[in-house]
Amino acid sequence: MRFGAIAILLIATAALFSQEIVNAGSYYAYSVRTSWFLGILTLWYWMTDNWTCAAGFGALGLATVLYYINPAFYHIPYLWVIFALIVPTYGFVLAYLGIKPSLQYAMYTGFAEIFYIITASIIIIAMVLPHLPASTAVAPFTPALVKGAWSLIFFGTIFSILDFVGLGTATTISEEVQDPKKTIKRALYVAWALGGITLILASYALTVGWGVNQMSSFATSPDPGFIVFFKYLGPVGWALLLAFVLNSYLAYGVAKWNSISRLWFSAARDNLWFKYIHAEKVHPKYRTPYVALIWYYGSVLVLALVTGFLLGPFNGSVFLLTINGLGMIATHIVVNTALTYYKYKTVGLRGKDIAFYLLYVIAPIIASLTAFVVFFYSVYPLPQYPFDIAVLIAIGWFLVGFIVAWWYSKYRAEVLKHAGASYEL
């Protein structure tokens, strides 16, 4: 619980780039303005998130939740396929219709969801905490429960990181908002604070509500969150949780399709490989990168369904999210490096005050080191089959990324000369 929050608090320093450059390409654009090699590397690594998280979490994640919520569903073959279509289709349609309706939907439903989760978590904690010994109450914030198995903590941190890294995608709409350098900055800080408070409270409530010493059965139970909410809040609390869980997946789909389509749009505009699918085209009425949206929708569905048929919706989801977590860690390590290098190139690092060094040098370095430790303990020792295959796929993808980045920076320098330009309104 705490390691994921600390890692992302540091890794999020890369969002400082949004105050320097306004570009729908976000981390890719920031990095490519710093170094062609780092820019292509960021784009390549971020592509692991483009597909694996949308397919693993958005499609197969919701399919798993709905599939296990009712025992009657077990006997309907391939019902999960229908469930897997919900989030990608909803995200595609709302993102296609324009940025304004999609952002309004996300804002109103998001605040309602946060209010409910925080309120319900406080109620559960208040009901359970008076009956717990002090040592048990604080145990979830210590490594005592895993008895020194740090590899388990760091492997679990991958999925904690996934709860926070999506905040950076807000920068992909920077070309479409007024005063983006201030607006995006405020949005990131508010979202980080609300998201962190909500996740920490909810995680603690579910831990003490399930039973601190019984958490070994938490992961193997079908929909344990629903079980805890039903136990302490009754059928009304259970139903509200279900409604907001569904909404959370839908809101994720909208955010994902908005952000990734704009990333592809930016890369295509810079004459990178996305130009071959005409991802830079904008809809004449809705002003959205509709070609990128269509290609993204189709590719996510193919990946989700193929993985789901091979491994089942649950294992398929975890398989893809393992690749995704490693990819996002690698992406942020590169972006952190680019942030420090960008400041070195533009204003230099000598003679600055302590706040400057803290934001642009110390925090990115600590963030990258923390992320590297998480990465190392996540791949060594390798997890059990089939998730060891996911780790090996991720590592292979990263190595290929180095070759691609080197080739572009050496042989396509002219193409990258104006990549990542700032497009402030």
pLDDT band at residue 12 under the 50/70/90 scheme = low
Query: Phi and psi of 318, rounded to 5°?
Result: -65, -40
| pLDDT of residue 186 exceeding 60 | yes
Q: Which residue has the tokens 């993985």?
A: 307
Q: Residue 382 is encoded by which pair of tokens?
A: 């390798």
Cβ burial of 230 (10 Å; 0-12, 13-18, 19+) is: middle
Q: What is the pLDDT of residues 310-368, one digit of tens each?
A: 999 999 999 999 999 899 889 988 988 998 899 899 888 888 888 888 888 888 888 88
Q: Which residues contact 330 (CB under 8 A, 6 or more apart)?
A: 45, 48, 375, 398
Q: What pLDDT sits at residue 93?
A: 94
Evaluate the CA torsion angle 150, 151, 155, 161 in order and state its sign. Answer: positive
Contact 43, 28 (CB under 8 A): yes
Distance between CA atoms of 170 and 210, rounded to whole angstroms?
34
Task: Tell me the pLDDT of the chain averaged across its residues.
Answer: 86
pLDDT at 240 over 70: yes
Task: Give the pLDDT confidence score for residue 299 in this predicted structure.
Answer: 96
DSSP state, 56?
Answer: I
**DSSP helix/strand/coil, 423:** coil
pLDDT of 134 higher than 50: yes
- Written as one letter, the residue type at 373 is V
> Average of pLDDT values for 387-391?
93
Query: To 5 degrees, how large is the angle CA 274–CA 277–CA 283?
Result: 100
Lowest mean pLDDT among 140-154, 234-248, 261-275, 360-374: 140-154
User: Would the pLDDT of 59 be above 90?
Assistant: yes
Residue 257's pLDDT band (boundaries 50, 70, 90)? Answer: very high
How far, in Å, CA of 242 to CA of 190, rounded? 25
Phi/psi zone of residue 347: left (φ > 0), alpha (ψ -120 to 50 degrees), beta?
A: alpha
Determine the angle formed by the axes of helices 27-34 and 36-53, rounding to 10 degrees. Answer: 160
74 compared with 160, residue with greater pLDDT: 74
* Alpha-carbon gap, residue 155 to 379, rounded angstroms: 8
Composition of the chain by helix, strand, coil, percent to 5? 85, 0, 15
Cα separation, 254 vs 89, in Å, equals 9
Region 218-240: mean pLDDT is 90
pLDDT at position 179 is 83
> In angstroms, what CA-CA distances link 208 with 117, 121, 126?
15, 10, 10
CA distance linking residue 154 with residue 378, whole number of Å:
6
- Band (pLDDT 50/70/90 cuts) for residue 15 is low
Of how many residues is the chain composed?
425
* Measured CA angle at 295 (ends 409, 312), to 5 deg: 105
Buried-state track 194-204, b at ≥16 Cβ within 10 A, e below 16: ebbebbbbbbb
Per-residue pLDDT of 203-219, as tens digits, reads 899 999 999 888 878 87
pLDDT at 152 over 70: no
Q: Of 153-157, 160-164, 177-181, 366-370, which gets the smallest average pLDDT?
A: 160-164
- Does residue 7 or residue 113 have the better pLDDT? 113
Domain ranges of the chain: 8-416
Closest CA to 330 of 374, 382, 377: 374
Mean pLDDT confidence for 106-124: 93
How is residue 267 written in tokens? 């890369």
Residue type, 200: I
Q: What is the pLDDT of residue 160?
A: 60
The pair phi, psi for residue 369, each rounded to 5°, is -65, -45
CA distance linking residue 227 with residue 233, whole number of Å = 10
Class of domain 8-416: mainly alpha
pLDDT at 270 over 80: yes
What does the CA dihedral 399, 295, 52, 26 come to, rounded to 10 degrees? 70
Q: What pLDDT score does 165 carry? A: 55
346 near 21, Cβ under 8 Å?
no
92 within 8 A of 257, measured Cβ to Cβ:
yes
Predicted local confidence at residue 231, as pLDDT: 94
Phi/psi for 422 (5° steps) reads: -85, 135
pTM of the prediction? Answer: 0.84
Band the pLDDT of 158: cuts 50, 70, 90.
low
Alpha carbon 92 to chain centroid distance? 18
